[in-house]
Structure 1
Amino acid sequence: MSLEIPFATADLLDANEAGLNAGTLHVVAPMFRSYGGRAVFGGPISTLKVFEDNSLVRTALSQPGNGRVLVIDGGGSLRCALVGDQLAELAVKNGWAGIVVYGCIRDSRAIGSMALGVFALATHPLKSIKRNVGEADLAVTFGGVSFVPGHFLYADADGVIVSQTALA
């Protein structure tokens, strides 16, 4: 369920204020920078929890994305990158709408030219280790919000919001 129509997170919040009050709609703390060529993106959430090891990132992005957003809880590490241009190309090829990294990316110039939304804390030129360590498809929490597989993420220049249901 890729979101092909443009949206604005501010407008989605205004139109769905009841969700904020009911606790079904959440705003992520403003911590991310946009690096991808797609400035506005959203879709159902898929998650990974890794630390300085991007082996599972490659595994996830090798699967059909079907318009999903891969949320990577990298523990907020600023010591290496979890996504680079090769993984971003894989995401585009397999139909992922975007990637949100609670950590770093690299190859930002190349990623900026791709039809993919990418939000991350920062860039770092060092690649990660490869030990195939981490967990997939579990709720992860950072930025004051829990990201649950199957819930929906919406991102644009104003920030990131997460909803239990698709927003109109």
Structure 2
Amino acid sequence: MAESIGDGLDRALESAFTRRPPQSAQAQMKYLVKQLKGTMATAQALGISQRTVERYVKGQLKRPRPDLRGRMEREVRKRWQPQVRARAKKRAASTGGLVVSTRARFGFTAAPGTTDDARIRDITQALPPEYADRLFTSREQGATEQQLQQIAAEGLAQMYFRANDTRARGLGVEFTDVEHVDIEL
């Protein structure tokens, strides 16, 4: 299954966490109840009954089904250490940038006589802060995976294929069939 740019951005921010998120089902549920300000809101966010939430908080239930465990972990990670996450975003968008490692199909629109056949490439490339800013801002505004891929493709085209406009001016890059993507701050 292809990985998404959005998930890669989330994992990159999680790498900035200074403490581990709650691990046990009871601790995760207590954290969610506190963050969402009540058992009803937590139940709605997880798609379970309010009574089930209360049982996890009391410790009467300890081992959630795999699908519920995944939802709980996702909801906790989404809300964990918001200030640390915000600082990491700000640093990447202002000074640090991102490093994108990907295995995907790249095709080109270039001058006649050059090979523009798409092929799978493994690329690891640092992207400057403006691309980090665009990716994080677009993600927060609800951009689709296709839109995030387009921004990443523009960054990779600029920095990897055109070497920051020192060669191959005007080269258009298509970024498709993403097999793997890893993003680091």
Q: Compute the TM-score of the two structures, normalised by the length of structure 2.
A: 0.21
Compare relative contact order (CA 8 Å, sep 6+) and give the higher one, 1 or 2: 1
Whose radius of gyration is greater, 1 or 2? 2
Q: Compute the TM-score of the two structures, normalised by the length of structure 1.
A: 0.23
Between Structure 1 and Structure 2, the one with more helix by share is 2
Between Structure 1 and Structure 2, the one with more strand by share is 1
